[in-house]
Amino acid sequence: MKNPFFKNTGPYSLNFLLKNLNLKSSEFDDQVTDVKDLNSSQHKNITFFHSKKYADQAKTTKASYCITTEKLKSHLPKKCISIISEKVLLDTAVITKIFYPDSVTDDFDNTVEDINTTNFKKNVKFGKNVLIGQNVKIGSNCLIGHNSIIEKNVSIGDNCSIGSNVIIRNSLIKNNVHILDGCVIGKKGFGFFPDKNSNFRYPQIGVVIINDNTEIGCGSTIDRGSLSNTIIGKNTYLDNQIHIAHNVKIGENCIIAGQVGFAGSSTLGNNVMIGGQAGVSGHLKIGNNVQIGGGSGVIKNIPDNCRVMGYPAQNIKNFLRENKWYTKPL
């Protein structure tokens, strides 16, 4: 799938990319057309593989080249050529920046203009001081509150409402979506790698996808993806002040209470319920029909149909057995 918002400046020769990484040149000096994650990579793409937890995806990747380690390369298909690196993630970030140089910064969008000067004023109800950027699409029967900014690269479906003081960028918003006051959606995620005496920011070339019939509570933030997308499933409701980091995938029919935080690249199944002020660590998989008690800290995968609570989160029966004070009246 072609990136909808960020311009790919490739292709580049493989040896050109290796030279920028200070790695040894290859005898296979083919043209590399794009950089993708393991799942979405295609022929002539370059990808990365840095942890054994992604071995299943590595075995089936269609990428022609993969930045990885000596220990992990055996998991890759024979058709995928390994590029051995001691700093897989940092090298991938460098290559991503070469292909997508405009994805690194999120400066204010100077293309925005007052909605009154655009064609949107004919079919959108809007408050005061609403600004609209370039490459924006808005469906029918939509409402935008006071002081909101729809920056460049946004598509909004039908019957949507955007509250006041909202900022949206690099996002695909489907139908019947309600985004309440003070949300920030589609800005770059918090991705850094130490590089000598500085921190190298990882380019964020993904988007935010919010599917039909969802609600995003006041003051929530949803970061766009890095190489993949950040996705909110259909019929999912997020309470106030929730943070969703880059690449997080939330399934359908989920209910998430206030002040919950999701670290990057975590995945939630369908019909998940999470109590307030819980935290989910990065790169975890939460199954279908899972219930997580308020204030819990999730630091490992949770299978389908489990109820957990506590820090670290454990089976709720075990938690209550070990913490009998919890059920006693004050």
* DSSP of 2-64: --SSSPP---EEHHHHHHHTT----S--PEE-EE--TTT--TTEEEE---GGGHHHHHH---S
Distance, C-alpha 274 to centroid of its chain: 19
Q: Do 218 and 272 fall into the same domain?
A: yes
The answer as to whether 96 is a domain residue is yes
pLDDT digits (tens, 9 = 90+) for 133-149: 999 999 999 999 999 99
- 103, 134, 168 — which closes off a domain? 103
Query: Count of domains in the chain?
Result: 2
Q: How far apart are CA 257 and CA 293, in angstroms?
A: 10
Q: How many residues does the chain have?
A: 330
The catalytic residues are 246
pLDDT band (50, 70, 90) for residue 202: confident
Query: In Å, how far are 33, 67, 99 from 43, measured between CA atoms?
Result: 9, 15, 16
- 202 and 152 within one domain: yes
Domain that holds residue 200: 113-327
Give SS3 for 88.
helix
pLDDT value at residue 195 = 67
Domain identity same for 16 and 89: yes
Q: Is position 3 within any domain?
A: no
- The answer on 255 and 183 residing in a single domain is yes
Do 66 and 211 lie in one domain? The reply is no
Last residue of a domain, one of 103, 121, 143: 103
In angstroms, rounded to a whole number, what is the distance separating the alpha carbons of residues 166 and 160? 13
Q: Which of 103, 132, 166 is the last residue of a domain?
A: 103
Confidence of residue 327 (pLDDT cuts 50, 70, 90): low
251: closest CA among 230, 277, 263, 269?
269
